[in-house]
Every structure is written in structure tokens, then in C-alpha cells.
Amino acid sequence: MVLMARDLAIDLGTANTLVYMKGRGIVLNEPSVIALNRQTGEVLATGREAWQMIGRTPGYIVAVRPLRGGAITDFEITERMIRLLLQRVGVSRFTRPKVVICVPSAITEVERRAVTDAARRAGAADANLIEQPMAAAIGADLPIDEPVGNMVIDIGGGTSETAVISLGGIVALEAVRVGSFDIDAAIQNYVRREHGIAIGERTAEEIKVAIGSADPTPDENQAEVRGRDLMTGLPKTVVLTPEEVRFAIEDVVSSMVASVIRCLSKAPPELSQDFLVRGMYLVGGGGLLRGLAERIERETQVPVRRSNVPLEAVVLGAGHVIEHYEALKGMFMGARR
């Protein structure tokens, strides 16, 4: 049994939790979901197994996402989820690693303390936080060590953050608590309102992946959606078009694009000119929405490029920080203040 703790970087996302182990790379990538016995409080499943239970559980089981909008909504459940995830990557009472956790840059002091406390109680010897856009920029392999403007747009499950980074620091930042889960919720609401059927959040996500887009795209198809008729209570199928989905999610997409524009307007002029040449980099699961890069590009007149590792960029960046802990500890939240 190896008793030496390998330090960890955790991307504690609203949608997925990824863990990077020092010297090894990404060792865990699971949905941030936990299934509990409602009566006993016992944990029944975590990660992918718990995700499959969402909306399909009997009355005594509840499958929940303990993070919403990038913030912990249930401290105790989050702590249990982190503990179980850390156990799965080999953390025990004998191996207490240093942990770097990526969090939205806009979280409050109370939320910060909640995350670090949850990690410490879950088995971390020390827990430090790093802003998601900063980690994303490192993981997306942007030259943030140079005195040039690097712009990263991180569209997550619960937050959308845009940051201008130069010389290893954040120059301008804009964050909104709107993410891809809000797109799913908008689709759910639209289908309920316009077609009179109720669909679950997993079905809404499937619609988004199948035909969702932020801007018209070539080869668009319709999708059959099955749900429960709100009038009769019987199963019903309706057909959704891409135009309908675009209309349904317009408010959410507009909010994301407006956030990017606000960040651009905050950037110093010397760095602004760099964006025209270097472009902006789109990361995060929400950034995979079809037409989003094109929509941002159309509205800002700045080229948008997609990262090669959109889902893993944040944890890779935090992983780099854990690999160079001593040199980069000045980048932790709170260290610069």
C-alpha cells in the first residue's frame, strides 16, 4: 500500500467533476451527481451511476446535483460527494494530499470557505482555490506568460466566465451565473409552454445536443420529443425544430454573448488589439453548443477559436498548478489580495 499522497487538482463543476493527479494526469471524470436514500441519508451512488438515476428513481431515492450556478447548494452532500470521489482516486486517512480546486471567479467569500472546508473534511491536507478562467487558459495552452492579451470564454454548466489574461494574471473578468443547465431548463420550459408536455432534464439535454444551436447551422434536423401530456397525463410525442430550440434558448445565449462583450469593453486598448489577431478561446461543455462560437464571432467581430480540450482544459490548467505548486501558489484565490 502506497502511503505517499499524490497531490490533486479538482475541477468541481456544476455538471462534471474531473480530478487530475500529480504526475499521472486526469484520473477521474464523472458527473457531479450523488444518489441518496431519502429515508436513511445513505449514499447509494455517485458520478455516472447516479447520473443515470436522475428523474428515474423510486420515491425513496433522490439523485441530486449538489452544485448549482457553480456554487454549493448543499454543503453536507457536496462534502460526501467529494469524499467519495477522493476515495476513488486513492485518498484515505493515511494519504492526505494537497488539493487545488477550480471555482467560478465570482463566488463569494462564504462559498469559497464552503468549498475549501468541504475538501479538507473530505480528506485534503490543504485546499486552495484557483479561478476557472485562469485554469482554463493554462489548460487551453494559451501563452499567458507573455505580455499579450489572451482571452478565454469558459461556458460551464452553471456559469459563463470570460477573462482577459496577460503575464499570468487576470486583467479583466466578466462572469454570469448562466450556463448550459439554463439552456436545458429553457428547453424544458418551452416544450411545456408551447407543446403542453413535460420532459425531464436529461431529455432536455438530449434535445440540446441533438438539434440545439445558437446560430443557424448547415444540416439542421428536427427531433422527436417524448414526454408526458400535461392535460391527459399520457405519454406523447411532439416534433421540435431547430428554430424552435433557438427561440427557446435565445435569452440564455444572449446573456452569455453580452457577458463576453462586457469583458471585451473592460480590456485595456493595448490588449484589445491582440484579440483581433489571436482571437478568443472557447472552452467548457457549454461552448460545444452548435453555432455559439459563430454567434459570438458575429456579434463581437473578434475571431473565436475552440480549444482542443474543451471539457478538460480547466482541470489540466489546475493540474499544471499542482505540478508547479511552489512556483504558482501566488495564483491561488486570496494570495493576490
Partner 1 sequence: MAAVLIGVLIVAVLAGGVLMWTRSRRRPDGVDSFRRQIDALSADSRRPTIDRMNPTEPPSDDEDGTHGT
Any contact of residue 298 with partner 1 (CB under 8 A)? Answer: no
Any contact of residue 285 with partner 1 (CB under 8 A)? Answer: no
| For helices 242-266 and 180-195, angle between their N-to-C axes, nearest 10 degrees | 150
Q: How far apart are CA 77 and CA 65, in angstroms?
A: 9
Any contact of residue 121 with partner 1 (CB under 8 A)? Answer: no
Binding characters for partner 1, 159-198, by CB under 8 A (x = yes): --------xx------------------------------
Of residues 167 and 276, the one with the C-beta less far from partner 1: 167
Block residue for cell numbers 403542453: 196
Any contact of residue 316 with partner 1 (CB under 8 A)? Answer: yes
Q: What are all long-range contacts of 231-239, with beta carbons under 8 Å and residues at least 24 apart?
A: 231/196, 236/197, 238/191, 238/195, 238/197
Of residues 231 and 327, the one with the C-beta less far from partner 1: 327
One-letter amino acid for residue 299 of the chain: E
Of residues 165 and 199, the one with the C-beta less far from partner 1: 165
Q: Which of residues 39-58 bind partner 1 (CB under 8 A)?
A: 47-48
Any contact of residue 90 with partner 1 (CB under 8 A)? Answer: no
Any contact of residue 28 with partner 1 (CB under 8 A)? Answer: yes
Any contact of residue 312 with partner 1 (CB under 8 A)? Answer: yes
Any contact of residue 25 with partner 1 (CB under 8 A)? Answer: yes
Pull the grid cell for residue 182. 439554463
Any contact of residue 324 with partner 1 (CB under 8 A)? Answer: yes
Q: How far apart are CA 34 and CA 64, in angstroms?
A: 6
Of residues 109 and 326, the one with the C-beta less far from partner 1: 326
Q: Please give the sequence-ordered ranges of beta strands (E in DSSP) within 32-186, or none if there are none.
A: 34-37, 43-46, 61-64, 67-68, 71-72, 98-103, 126-131, 150-155, 160-166, 169-176
DSSP reduced 3-state for 53: coil
**CB of 55 within 8 A of CB of 14?**
no
For residue 337, the tally of other CB atoms under 10 A from its CB is: 4
Q: How far is the CB of 88 from partner 1 (least distance, A)?
A: 9
Of 69-77, 216-224, 225-233, 324-332, which part binds partner 1 (CB under 8 A)? 324-332
Of residues 15 and 248, the one with the C-beta less far from partner 1: 15
Q: How far is the CB of 331 from partner 1 (least distance, A)?
A: 7
Of residues 166 and 188, the one with the C-beta less far from partner 1: 166
Question: Quick one: 324 exposed, middle or buried, by C-beta within 10 A (0-12, 13-18, 19+)?
Answer: exposed
Is beta strand 25-31 parallel, antiparallel or unpaired with respect to 150-155?
Answer: unpaired
Any contact of residue 320 with partner 1 (CB under 8 A)? Answer: yes
Any contact of residue 138 with partner 1 (CB under 8 A)? Answer: yes
> String of b and e for 299-314 (b: at least 16 CB within 10 Å)?
ebebebeebebbbbbb
Among positions 187, 331, 332, 333, the unique one binding partner 1 when judged by CB under 8 A: 331
Any contact of residue 29 with partner 1 (CB under 8 A)? Answer: yes
Any contact of residue 258 with partner 1 (CB under 8 A)? Answer: no
Question: Quick one: 235 exposed, middle or buried, by C-beta within 10 A (0-12, 13-18, 19+)?
Answer: exposed
Q: Could you list the residues that contact partner 1 (CB under 8 A)?
A: 24-30, 47-48, 138-139, 141, 143-145, 167-168, 309, 312, 316, 319-320, 323-324, 326-328, 330-331
